[in-house]
Amino acid sequence: MSLKPKVALSQDFLLQLAKLPVNVHTKVMKWAILFQTDPKSPSINYENINGARDPNLKSVRLDKDWRGIVFKPNTGDVYVLLYVDHHDDAYRWAENRKLNINPVTGAMQMVMVESVVQQIEVTAADTAPQSTSTSTQALFATLSDRELMSIGVPEESLASVRSIAAEEQLDALQATLPLEAYEGLFLVAAGDTVSQVLNTRETRVDKTIDTSDFAAALATPESQSRFVVVNDDETMLAIMNAPLEQWRVFLHPTQHKLASGDRSGPVRVLGGAGTGKTVLAMHRAKWLAENRTGTGQKVLFTTFTKNLAADIEQNLRTLCSSEAMSKMEVRNLDAWVNAFMRGRKLEHRIVYDRKQDAALQAWQAALAVKDSKQDLPDNFYEQELEQVVLAQGITTLDQYRTARRTGRGVVLSRAKRDAVWPVFEEYRGQLASRKLKEVDDAYREVADLLSSAPESNAPYSAIVVDETQDFGPQALRLLRAMIPRRANDLFFVGDGHQRIYSRNKATMNKCGVDIRGRSKKLYLNYRTTDEIRRQAVALLEGVEVDDLDDGQDETKRYRSVSHGPAPVVLDVKGMEGAGQEALSFVKQWTASQADDHPLTFCVIASSEKNREALSSVLQAAGLRCVTVSAQNNHTDAREVVHMSTMHRAKGLEFDCVVVVTPASYLGHPEETATQRKLLYVALTRAKRGAALLKVV
């Protein structure tokens, strides 16, 4: 009995499908189902394409105006839907493309055969400095052909890559290269070795490759970042009915490898905004649920805020089967702790805001016992409580006497610590009398309970953690206590550039989370254009950014895969002026949008008060505005302007974003680090267009 041929869809096919008129989309869907069922059917009339560089690319007739481009080799049973368009446009697309197998990596690659050398030479002439010296050294002159191909460069592109002498030329060539090749080249240009790139990717290049075996090539992570095999009608329909949700189907090779397979212990993945950290975390949770979660166990997916957890759960339901979802629990950590305490009949409520009634009374009562001889301001005690006592889990005077106070500024002798301590002791006593508990104390006590009763944390096969940078030391210690040390236990994703909640930087190793040898980074930004990314990164110049484990992170290796106009940066007078500029921005982008694909907009302010003031200006001009809240982010609403605070915009994305900020947020970097990170988060919500309005 012969095996059924393999049928695959390319990412280009799905992207093009999403642009088709509804009536054509329906016609293509019906044809694709028949094609998937039997690509060898006599009813499919494969036609050769005159002038095509690849004889395996064939045209198929969808109707009198529309054509599909299909890969149909002379030998083997692999068929790939590559593209769909009007008759002439489809042929033009196919003429200069070849579907090849990289002889070193074994990946299937769509190669543009047309020469790009002339384009590179023009770029070089535009960017080269005026000099009478000899020509500029090529960036990749020292690499062999095999080394270049090992990082993803197609054999046909070697000459073009070898002509590159500046990073601007590499960017000009980007559209003609597979994504892994572009990433590998810019990492090498930034100083990495080929071995470092391959080690990070976990890519082996020591195998003998059969460049005619397309079935084997389809199985590589590199191929699966742009081609998806469909085995039945149900899979075909599911993918083609949601063509814009590309993250559900295609993962970058690095993401693919990190999402699957066993890990010997905790893993930490860093990545700037838009690099797909949350997508990776969701695919990792899916793989763990499907492959490493037994009966009676679940994968816990946790993050910092309630609304982010709700968004992630909704997205997981579109990604996972009902069986996989039954093995998952999605909950932000505060909600998990509250549920645990209720389950243990612990009656204390957690304090999230010390300025609220009962907690404020407790704090004021504590300040009443401070030693007036110390001449320390009230805010000193609050900061000492947060940054030293709660962060380090200090519960006794003896512990406080020897506690590290790095970065606190004020030096405290032993006698002064003895004089300060009663305030913290009184505060905890006042909270206890009101059946209240600081959140860090709640984390610490729950972690102690779990550590003393290991059997109580058996229900979880693994824990996946998003937005790790916003968790403080006690939260990380709790997460470590929630699951026994074993393979695949903890998977963290995060970005120190986006720390906007946690007041206390946590070091994973000091919190019992050992990530040695299991630390990875994502470099490619899929959401934001490089112009917007550069503007956002510039806001953090002079701000120290950590790697979540007592090291420093850097941004020079991050790149975006898309380009667009530079963000608008303006000084404006008051909220009225900001509102008028936001209105102008929205109108300009609206005028440029295609009717069948309306753009999404969000205006992001520093406070609820400013958000409402801006909303009033826009609504007075006839625009419909909806507010992003903790209860509903409304991102499915169309032909509206979303209104959000900077904190609430975390985790969301829109085509175009206007960020309105007080000019004070851009003061000295050391003094405004948190505010600048907020601006970084807000600006990187934009996919295509952005404006930064500074209120003076």
Residue 679: both structure tokens together: 């601006």
Find tokens 């019992």 and name the residue. 512
What confidence score (pLDDT) does residue 598 get?
85
The stretch 279-291 carries a mean pLDDT of: 97
Give a three-class secondary structure readout of 277-326: HHHHHHHHHHHHHHHCCCCCCEEEEECCCHHHHHHHHHHHHHHCCHHHHC
Beta bridge partners of 268: 492, 519
Residue 646: both structure tokens together: 């900077």
Backbone angles phi, psi at 338, to 5 degrees: -60, -45
251-341+442-522 shares its CATH topology with 563-695: yes
563-695, superfamily in CATH? P-loop containing nucleotide triphosphate hydrolases (3.40.50.300)
Alpha carbon dihedral 530, 171, 218, 151, in 10-degree steps, equals: -110
Helix (H/G/I), strand (E/B), else coil: 644: strand
CB atoms within 10 A of CB 326: 11
Question: Range with the lowest mean pLDDT among 39-48, 534-543, 632-641, 675-684?
Answer: 632-641
Check residue 412 and report its DSSP letter: -
The CATH label, of 3.30.2310.20, 3.60.15.10, 3.30.70.260, 1.10.630.10, for the domain at 6-102+216-240 is: 3.30.2310.20
DSSP 537-586: HHTTTT---B-SSSSB---TT-EES---PPPEEEEESHHHHHHHHHHHHH
What confidence score (pLDDT) does residue 201 get?
87
Backbone angles phi, psi at 25, to 5 degrees: -55, -45
Residue 247 · residue 15 · CB < 8 Å? no
Name the nearest CA neighbour of 492 among 211, 269, 321, 674.
269
Helix (H/G/I), strand (E/B), else coil: 472: coil
Residue 243: is its pLDDT beyond 90?
A: no
Residue 678: both structure tokens together: 């907020």
Cα distance between residue 97 and residue 281, in whole Å:
34
What confidence score (pLDDT) does residue 2 get?
56
| 204 conformational bin, left if phi > 0, alpha if psi -120 to 50, beta if neither | beta
- Angle at which helices 357-367 and 414-433 cross, to 10°: 150
Residue 387 · residue 408 · CB < 8 Å? yes
Cα distance between residue 102 and residue 210, in whole Å:
9
How many Cα atoms sit within 13 Å of 382 on the Cβ side? Answer: 12
CATH code: domain 251-341+442-522 is: 3.40.50.300
**Which run of H or of E encompasses 26?**
helix 22-37
State which amino acid sits at residue 161: V
Residue 548 · residue 509 · CB < 8 Å? no
Q: Say what percent of the chain tops pLDDT 70.
A: 94
- Angle at which helices 333-343 and 473-481 cross, to 10°: 60
Alpha helices for 347-437 (secondary structure H): 357-367, 378-384, 397-401, 414-433
Residue 449 · residue 368 · CB < 8 Å? no
Residue 135: is its pLDDT beyond 70?
A: no
Give a three-class secondary structure readout of 76-116: CCEEEEEEEEEHHHHHHHHHCEEEEECCCCCCEEEEECCCC
State which amino acid sits at residue 391: A
Give a three-class secondary structure readout of 576-643: HHHHHHHHHHHHHHHHHCCCCCCCCEEEEECCHHHHHHHHHHHHHCCCCEEECCCCCCCCCCCCCEEE
Cα distance between residue 35 and residue 28, in whole Å:
10
Residue ranges of the domains in the chain? 6-102+216-240, 114-208, 251-341+442-522, 349-434, 563-695
Q: CB neighbours of 84 closer than 8 A, spacing ≥ 6? A: 13, 16, 17, 20, 28, 62, 66, 67, 68, 69, 90
CA quadruple 347, 351, 352, 353: dihedral positive or negative?
positive
Q: What is the pLDDT of residues 146-156, one digit of tens each?
A: 999 999 999 99
**Burial 620-633, CB ≥16 within 10 A → b, else e:** eeebebbbbeeeeb
Q: What is the pLDDT of residues 173-193, one digit of tens each?
A: 998 999 999 999 999 999 999
Rg of the chain on CA atoms, in Å:
28
What confidence score (pLDDT) does residue 49 get?
94
Check residue 242 and report its DSSP letter: S
What confidence score (pLDDT) does residue 473 get?
96
What confidence score (pLDDT) does residue 349 get?
92
pLDDT band at 244 (very low <50, low <70, confident <90, very high): low
State which amino acid sits at residue 443: Y
What confidence score (pLDDT) does residue 113 get?
81
Cα 556 from chain centroid (whole Å):
17
What confidence score (pLDDT) does residue 654 get?
94
What confidence score (pLDDT) does residue 256 get?
92
Residue 127: is its pLDDT beyond 50?
A: no
Q: Average pLDDT, whole number, for the chain? A: 91
pLDDT band at 129 (very low <50, low <70, confident <90, very high): very low
Check residue 50 and report its DSSP letter: T
